[in-house]
Amino acid sequence: MTDLKLYSMPSSGNSYKVRLLLALLGRTVDTIDVEYEWESLTRAKAEGRLPFGKAPVLELGDGTLLPESNAILFWLGQGTRFVPLGALEQARMLSWMFWEQNQHEGVIAVRAALLKYPHRKAQATPERLAELLTSGHALLKVMEDHLSGRDWLVGGHVSLADLCLYAYTHTADTHGGFDLAPFPALRDWLGRIAALDGYVGLDA
């Protein structure tokens, strides 16, 4: 039994990062597919379950709706090993999570979306794809440089920052066409996350 409902897009990294944290915490959730199940999407919109018009949204037992993936991560992570204890470390964690949304996702995830979704095909011009490829490799280099000589993005333990950035980074090559070969520290970091107890993949 669970008192949580997750309105989720199965192919979305933003929805996946929430499902991953829930799995790592051993928490169960009723998942409602609002990507491939048209009836579920229509009902969710009609009932006001998607406050910002998109998934993911976590519905709590009392009916409270919590949108935005990283806000959901922060709420679920409170009091767990995925949130550092110190205020400075928490702030550093949040800085990576903010960077993921305003820098990383807008390039890494967008290039993958242009290549995958038919309704985005008109935007997938050679010039745009090339621009995103260059920008994306620069962003991955930022992560590579930071992870060189350390296991995790913040402190000595896995945190929400790692899970947040893992979501779109781990498919950057297969979905977005980015070359991860030049980034050994980043690839090792991806492997450490995939080895966590309770880990589930994007398609789980």
Per-residue pLDDT tens digits for 177-201: 999 999 999 999 999 999 999 999 9
Give the up-direction half-sphere exposure of residue 148: CA atoms within 13 A in the CB hemisphere. Answer: 8
Structure tokens given for 99: 């960077």
Question: Residue 45 and residue 52: Cα distance in Å, rounded?
Answer: 10
Q: Torsions phi, psi of 178, nearest 5? A: -80, 145
Q: List, edge to edge, every strand of the sheet that includes 57-59.
A: 30-33, 5-8, 57-59, 65-67
User: Distance (Å, rounded) from C-alpha 79 to C-alpha 27?
Assistant: 14
pLDDT digits (tens, 9 = 90+) for 100-112: 999 999 999 999 9
Residues 132-162: tens digit of each pLDDT: 999 999 999 999 999 999 999 999 999 999 9
Q: Which CATH superfamily is domain 5-77 in?
A: Glutaredoxin (3.40.30.10)
Is the pLDDT reported for residue 1 higher than 60? no
Q: How far apart are CA 75 and CA 4, in angstroms?
A: 13
Residue ranges covered by each domain of the chain: 5-77, 87-194
DSSP 32: E
Q: Which of 57, 37, 25, 154 is nearest to 99 (CA)?
A: 154
* Domain 87-194 CATH class label: mainly alpha
- The string of pLDDT tens digits covering residues 21-66 is 999 999 999 999 998 888 888 888 888 989 999 999 999 999 999 9
pLDDT at 61: 92
Position 121 scores a pLDDT of 86
